[in-house]
Structure 1
Amino acid sequence: MLEFETRIDELAEDTPVEGVLVLTIAQRERTRFRATLTDGREAGVLLPRGGPVLRHGDRLADAEGRVVRVEAAPEPVSTVHDEDPWQLMRAAYHLGNRHMPLEIGRRWLRYRRDHVLDEMVRGLGLSVIHEDRPFQPEAGAYGHGHGHAHHHHE
């Protein structure tokens, strides 16, 4: 089994990648876990505890210098679209008060699918759609993420 113990933050885009790990946000929040690369090889991830959450596009290396890329897996999410930034800010405020991980895009919000939260957002006058999409919530304001952001554009 391959073991990836190092996060590579500064790596040229053309650095060869020998595999891909497609992971849910629950997996990416952990520092130690087993997973299967898209080519079927088994891998262990053994990162230092307390580090930042793995983000879509991150790269990990093993002791032999093999590099794999992390991709965010599609998972059940609720997405709220609205042209009115005020409405989206209201929804983000109420979701944030419930300490829910939230992905914020232009004219949309996304959170883990939850029927109670869906009803709350609908109660604010917004429409909710259910999708299976990669989920990349904000890293947080207290240094629990990378210093750079990854944005999905729709």
Structure 2
Amino acid sequence: MLRLDRLLAPETPDGATRRLTLRYAERCKSRLRVELDDGTEAGLFLPRGTVLRSGDRLAAEDAAVVVEIRAATEELYEVRATHDAVDPHFDLLRGTYHLGNRHVPVQLAPGRLRLERDTVLRELLLRLRLDVRHVEAPFEPEAGAYGGGHRHDHDTTGGMLGESLSREAHAATPDFASMRFQPLGR
């Protein structure tokens, strides 16, 4: 069995000769027995918290084999504002807020959202007067403000924009314990 244990840097010279197509739930696992698209048996042995994205490349333990990851087509919901919405941007933003409040992985695109099928979430979105349709497409949800576990150790920020921004903000944060606050006027 082929052992895939290293995520390659994007600037690594191209050498991907094999492909591995996985659903989103499978791309979130750090230990997984898989079958490459060509039928070769392999195992993923990645750092805990790794989330693979379509286009990522993995190297086998001996670096002789490089495998490119592809996002599989999945059954999803595609959510849009209804055609008669007074403020379609607000309606979609409101739906996004409620999904985020439930920590639901969401793929964002202009004018639409995609999420994994869940009848309870579908009902919620319908009650918010959004259009919910069944689609089949690859699922690439947002990684989240803190990177969603996906990191490239060669990135200066560790692949996590949110963490970088948070570090910068905390470095400039005053000592609130020593501050005196004045009540707001009416």
Same fold, TM-score > 0.5, yes or no:
yes
The alpha carbon displacement at 1:148 in A equals: 7.9
Query: Aligned residue for 2:25?
Result: 26
Mark the runs of 5 or more structure 1 residues left unpaired by the alignment.
150-154
- Stretch moving more, 29-38 or 82-91: 82-91
Query: Aligned residue for 2:90?
Result: 86
1:68 matched to 2:67: yes
Question: Which letter maps to 1:139?
Answer: A
State which structure, 1 or 2, has the greater radius of gyration over its C-alpha atoms: 2
Question: Which letter maps to 2:7?
Answer: R
TM-score scaled by structure 1?
Answer: 0.88
Q: Give the share of equivalent positions with the same residue, in percent.
A: 43
Cα RMSD after superposing both structures? 1.9
Query: Aligned residue for 1:58?
Result: 56
Q: Deviations over 1:4-62 (max 9, x none)?
A: 100012335x6121211100111111101011111111111101223x31111110001
1:145 matched to 2:144: no
Point out the structure with the larger helix share.
2
Mark the runs of 5 or more structure 2 residues left unpaired by the alignment.
152-158, 162-186
1:117 matched to 2:121: yes
Point out the structure with the larger strand share.
1
Alignment size in residue pairs:
147
Question: Which letter maps to 1:62?
Answer: A
The alpha carbon displacement at 1:63 in A equals: 2.2
TM-score scaled by structure 2?
Answer: 0.73
Query: Aligned residue for 1:2?
Result: 2
Which structure has more RCO (C-alpha within 8 Å, separation ≥ 6)? Answer: 1
